[in-house]
Each structure stands twice: as C-alpha cells, then as structure tokens.
C-alpha cells in the first residue's frame, strides 16, 4: 500500500532542557516551535521561538517556569495560527527515540508495551528516556486519540548485512541487558542512502559521515549498512561536541564507582568531547581557535579530524576499499576545514577535495578534484525519513 504523503505529522524532539515541535504536511515543514531555557535575573525560565515555512522567526510574548506546559502551549499556538483544525487534523505525533535494544530497533505505535520497554531502557539511557516518556505523556494529554509513534534512531541500521552488530561479552550478560551495536543516526542514514539511490549516485562501497553535534560514520556495500561507529549507545565511536567517543571502558567503571552510574554517563555524554578539550561545543569556535593557534582548540580539532579519518580508514580496510565518501549533517555539510582536513589524510585511497562548499540549489554537490573518487555533500533530512516510515507504519495498521 502506498503512503499518503499529505499526512500531517507533528515531530517532537524532547531534550533534557528543551522541547522542539515541528509540524509537517507531507515532507514540507510548515511551522516549528522551539522552547528553550534562559537565565534572567538568576532565575531560569522558558521562552518559545516560532519559525514559519518562509524562515521568518518571532518570539512568543510569554514565558514559562518549566517545560510541563510546552505541549499544550504548542497545540494552542498551532491552532491559533490555523495550522491544525477540524479540517486539517493531525495524523500522528512522532517522538524521536534514541533508546536501542531489540524492541527499539524498530518504529512503534505507542501502547502499554512501549511504556514498559522505556522503563527498562532508563538504566542505559538516563539522559534520553525521560524526555521520550515526557513527550509521549504530554502528546497523549494534549491530543487524545491521535496516534503517537516512537521513531527508532537505529532502525535503518538494523539489517542482516551488518557485520559488527555484536559485542564479545558473555551471552547471559548480553541477554540480560539486551546489548548490541545498534548504532544511531539511523534516520539520517536512511534518508541519505535513499537520496543516493534516487540520484543514481550509488557506488559499490560507500562511507557516509554524519557530522553534527553528534558524530558517526557508516560503511555501506551495495547500499546496505555493514559497519557503523556507534554502538549500544551514541557514546561509542567518534568524539563529538560533548561526548568522549570510544575510551578505555575502565574509565567509565571508575567514574561509575566514584560518582554513580547516572552521573558517570552524564559526564561522558554531556561534559566531554570538544567541550572538555576546547571549552566550547561549537565546532565553528573550535576551528576559529585552532586558526589562531590556541593549543586546546588545536588539540580538539586534530583529535576530531583524526577520529573521522581513522574510522573511514578502518572501514576501508574492512570493506576492501572505498569508492565514494559522503558528508552530511551540520558540520559535514557546512565546514570546509573539517572536510578538507579529513580528506587530506585519505589521498593514498584516491581522494582529493576541491575548495568548494555545498551548492544549496542542488540535492548534492560533488566536491572531488578531477581524477579523484567522488566526494559528495548531501544534506540530510531526518524528519522526512521519519515521516515516510510513520506513514508506512500507519498505513499497515489499516
């Protein structure tokens, strides 16, 4: 059954201190609301920014003491602006779900089982699961009768083609905690690989680099994922804005023994990475600092570049070579210094890059020098992938 691309979906991203609501008709975003905390006179309050389809922004002339009312306020704003009404109802509410495991490696229409599984996932995902639970609870209260769906962040990577999906741990431990290298950024990889096929750019062996506030790399053979850098959680693999990336597991155990598991996970996920090395989690500031010769920023920049280039090289060895490299997400799409520095280490593999940025009028840009293997910049659209998957899931339930 084909998917109705004119469905109206509300995509929710519930952070620990923010709430974002993006309203879509088909794959077109028609309005988004962003609730974020700000400090004023030593007191934290939450403000809301409305972004229209044409990019125009305006602040709502109102503040809130916490995020508990954000969903109801969002509903009121969407209805006042005429985006949601009886003639234009919501078809579904999509809540991004970073938890993994067998259950959350797939998308689900929320039911009692979903809530039970989220409860089990709190131990490994104490920073993310509470936001998902809050989003589901508030969605059901604000929009009774509208289906709520948890959208898996690993579904597009959960394939039989994967060669790195297991850990070398005792089977009883794996089974008790439902452990596996599930990966993340699945919605981004699902979208980008679909776009690659649509554009006729598919090569035998490709590596896609999703470089944003969180960073990962995935290797594909014939369009199917075989290796990915993230594991049970997004902490494994590359260093990113506030995550350590892969480190000696003993360090995690030591932090857990000293601070407790939840605080240790917070340190590794929220207080490390670029933030810890350079004092900023913004790659633009890190690059600027490195260009000025600041030692901390230079170290952070070099470690980041080495991590990405090293992971590409690892996957090249495992796949017997690479025929094309793709950059996507905020840093991948916008940062020439990162792309250039990564590719400069891969000349021995037949890659050489031009000093050229993404052409925003196109679906993709090939920034490879003449005679080089292809190096593509392809903008990602995770929401479009989630909407496509949600439409198919709802259609199957009819």
d(CA 56, CA 396) in angstroms, rounded, equals 37
d(CA 69, CA 43) in angstroms, rounded, equals 18
d(CA 73, CA 333) in angstroms, rounded, equals 33
Residues 6 or more apart in contact with residue 360 via CB below 8 angstroms: none
Concerning whether 41 is annotated as a catalytic residue, the answer is no
Number of H helices, E strands in the chain: 14, 14
Q: Where are the beta strands (DSSP E) in the chain?
A: 8-14, 18-25, 28-40, 43-52, 57-59, 92-97, 108-109, 148-152, 205-211, 215-221, 224-228, 324-328, 365-366, 375-377
Overall residue count recorded for the chain in this entry: 398
**R_g of the chain computed on alpha carbons:** 21
3: left (phi over 0), alpha (psi -120 to 50) or beta: beta
Residues 6 or more apart in contact with residue 164 via CB below 8 angstroms: 181, 226, 227, 228
Characterize the bridge pairing of strands 324-328 and 205-211. parallel
Residues 6 or more apart in contact with residue 33 via CB below 8 angstroms: 20, 21, 48, 49, 50, 51, 74, 77, 78
> Using alpha carbons only, what angle is made at residue 220 by residues 219 and 224, rounded to the nearest 5 degrees?
140
Asked if 154 and 105 touch (Cβ cutoff 8 Å), the reply is yes
Q: What CA–CA distances, in Å, run from 151 to 30, 127, 154, 158? A: 20, 17, 9, 13
Would you state the structure tokens that stand for residue 175, as one six-digit string? Answer: 């089974």
Given the residues 153, 248, 282, 363, the one annotated as active site: 153
* Farthest CA pair distance, the chain: 60
d(CA 8, CA 368) in angstroms, rounded, equals 39
d(CA 135, CA 131) in angstroms, rounded, equals 6
Beta bridge partners of 31: 23, 52
Closest CA to 99 of 111, 87, 114: 114
Q: Which residues are catalytic?
A: 153
């Amino acid at each position: 059954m084909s998917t109705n691309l004119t469905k109206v979906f509300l995509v929710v991203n519930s952070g620990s201190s923010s709430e974002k609501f993006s309203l879509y008709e088909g794959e077109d975003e028609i309005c988004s609301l962003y609730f974020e905390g700000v400090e004023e006179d030593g007191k934290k309050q939450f403000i809301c920014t409305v972004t229209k389809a044409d990019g125009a922004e305006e602040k709502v002339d109102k503040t809130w003491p916490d995020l508990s009312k954000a969903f109801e306020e969002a509903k009121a704003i969407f209805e006042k602006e005429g985006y949601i009404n009886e003639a234009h109802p919501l078809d579904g509410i999509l809540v991004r779900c970073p938890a993994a495991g067998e259950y959350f490696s797939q998308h689900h229409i929320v039911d009692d089982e979903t809530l039970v599984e989220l409860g089990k996932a709190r131990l490994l995902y104490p920073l993310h699961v509470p936001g998902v639970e809050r989003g589901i609870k508030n969605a059901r209260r604000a929009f009774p009768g509208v289906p709520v769906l948890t959208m898996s962040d690993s579904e597009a990577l959960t394939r039989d083609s994967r060669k790195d999906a297991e850990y070398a741990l005792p089977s009883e431990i794996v089974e008790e905690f439902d452990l596996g290298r599930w990966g993340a950024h699945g919605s981004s990889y699902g979208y980008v690989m679909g776009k690659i096929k649509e554009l006729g750019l598919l090569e035998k062996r490709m590596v896609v680099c999703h470089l944003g506030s969180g960073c990962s790399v995935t290797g594909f053979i014939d369009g199917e994922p075989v290796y990915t850098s993230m594991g049970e959680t997004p902490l494994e693999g590359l260093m990113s804005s506030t995550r350590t990336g892969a480190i000696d597991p003993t360090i995690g155990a030591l932090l857990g023994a000293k601070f407790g598991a939840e605080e240790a996970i917070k340190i590794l996920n929220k207080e490390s990475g670029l933030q810890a090395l350079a004092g900023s989690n913004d790659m633009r500031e890190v690059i600027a600092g490195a260009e000025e010769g600041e030692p901390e920023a230079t170290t952070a920049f070099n470690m980041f570049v080495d991590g990405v280039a090293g992971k590409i090289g690892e996957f090249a060895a495992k796949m017997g070579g690479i025929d094309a490299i793709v950059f996507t997400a905020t840093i991948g799409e916008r940062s020439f210094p990162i792309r250039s520095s990564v590719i400069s280490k891969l000349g021995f593999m037949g890659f050489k890059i031009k000093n050229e940025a993404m052409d925003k009028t196109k679906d993709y840009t090939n920034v490879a020098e003449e005679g080089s293997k292809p190096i593509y910049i392809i903008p990602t659209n995770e929401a479009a992938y989630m909407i496509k998957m949600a439409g198919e899931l709802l259609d199957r339930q009819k």
